[in-house]
Chain A
Amino acid sequence: MPESPDTSQDGEPLRVRGERTGDVYTLALAGELDISTADAFEAELRRAQGTDADQLVIDLEGLTFMDSSGLSLLLHARQREEAEGQRIRVVGASGEVRRLLEVTRADQFFELIDP
């Protein structure tokens, strides 16, 4: 079960946990996703999309903040979805994160599952 380093101790408030169960690879995010933490998420995202899992679930329930730095990574992942042959589902988007997806109309690009 790959897991990115918990960087919260040095001031980077994002935790990304990857877990594979059968054909489903889940990335669970907690904390804040912005320009200072986007690189950590992108690395895990690319790792997940590089596996042969049929489905990638991106769980945003633990996110307390996300801006366009995170959103652009989700959109890029969506663009790679077909080439990777891996279906993406975004779950757990609520509050501020959900608002960002709606304001940008990015919600139409993802299969959003309510928490």
Chain B
Amino acid sequence: MTDQVADRRSRKGLDREFYSDRKSVREARRAVREYAEGVGADPVVVELAVSEAATNVVLHAYRDERPRTFVVIAAAERDRLLVIVRDRGIGMVPNPESPGVGLGLPIISQLADTVEMDSGPNGLTLTMTFALGS
């Protein structure tokens, strides 16, 4: 059984859903890295940013034992690569039991050209853009 729930790759981009578990972080970043390489974005930067975003989902989005999922979308638009990581968790709320040191979002902010966060009770959507042609 694969962690990949669905693969709906289209001409326009990548659209995949992953189970919210630790192994999926690797699968998600590899998928986006491959896509980034194909469209001319810096694969190293994109891979690291997606790894951080997916790790945040695994650590913070769902705080119960039920298996959940998150969606990763990547699409090339003119001179930029758009990457969206979306979950249906509890949004950005403090997590006193967090095992991390809070480096994920600062790293993403350093790597991406733009970062937008839409957080609410129905989840967090993280939208990042990266330059093409690097």
Nearest CB of chain A from residue B79's CB, rounded to whole Å = 22
In the complex with contacts A11-B23, A35-B58, A69-B100 CB distance below 8 A: yes
B33 closest partner in A (C-beta):
A65
Q: How far is the CA of A113 from the CA of B45 in the complex (A)?
A: 23
B22 adjacent to chain A (CB < 8 Å): yes
Nearest CB of chain A from residue B68's CB, rounded to whole Å = 16
CB-CB contacts of B75-114 with A at 8 A, as 1s and 0s?
A: 0000000000000000000000000110110110011000
In the complex with contacts A32-B26, A36-B22, A36-B26, A67-B52 CB distance below 8 A: yes
Cβ 8 A contact of B48, one of A11, A13, A76, A100: A100
Nearest CB of chain A from residue B43's CB, rounded to whole Å = 9
A34 adjacent to chain B (CB < 8 Å): yes
Query: Are the CB atoms of B103 and A35 closer together than 8 Å?
Result: no
A71 adjacent to chain B (CB < 8 Å): yes
In the complex with contacts A34-B51, A67-B51, A68-B55, A104-B107 CB distance below 8 A: yes
List of B residues within 8 angstroms of A34 by Cβ? 22, 25-26, 51, 55
Query: Are the CB atoms of B111 and A103 closer together than 8 Å?
Result: yes
Chain A interface size range: 20 to 34
List of B residues within 8 angstroms of A52 by Cβ? none
Query: Are the CB atoms of A35 and B48 closer together than 8 Å?
Result: no
A13 closest partner in B (C-beta):
B26
A69 closest partner in B (C-beta):
B55
Q: How far is the CA of A76 from the CA of B107 in the complex (A)?
A: 18
Query: Are the CB atoms of B101 and A100 closer together than 8 Å?
Result: no
Nearest CB of chain A from residue B101's CB, rounded to whole Å = 4
Q: How far is the CA of A68 from the CA of B103 in the complex (A)?
A: 6
A75 adjacent to chain B (CB < 8 Å): yes
Query: Are the CB atoms of B44 and A67 closer together than 8 Å?
Result: no
A72 adjacent to chain B (CB < 8 Å): yes
B21-51 contacts to A, CB under 8 A, are 22-23, 25-26, 44-45, 47-48, 51
In the complex with contacts A36-B22, A96-B44, A67-B55 CB distance below 8 A: yes
Q: Which residues on A are within 8 Å of B, measured CB to CB? A: 11, 13, 32, 34-36, 65, 67-69, 71-72, 75-76, 95-96, 99-100, 103-104
A65-B48, A67-B107, A95-B44 given; name 8 further pairs at CB < 8 Å: A13-B26, A34-B25, A35-B55, A65-B47, A65-B51, A72-B101, A75-B101, A99-B45
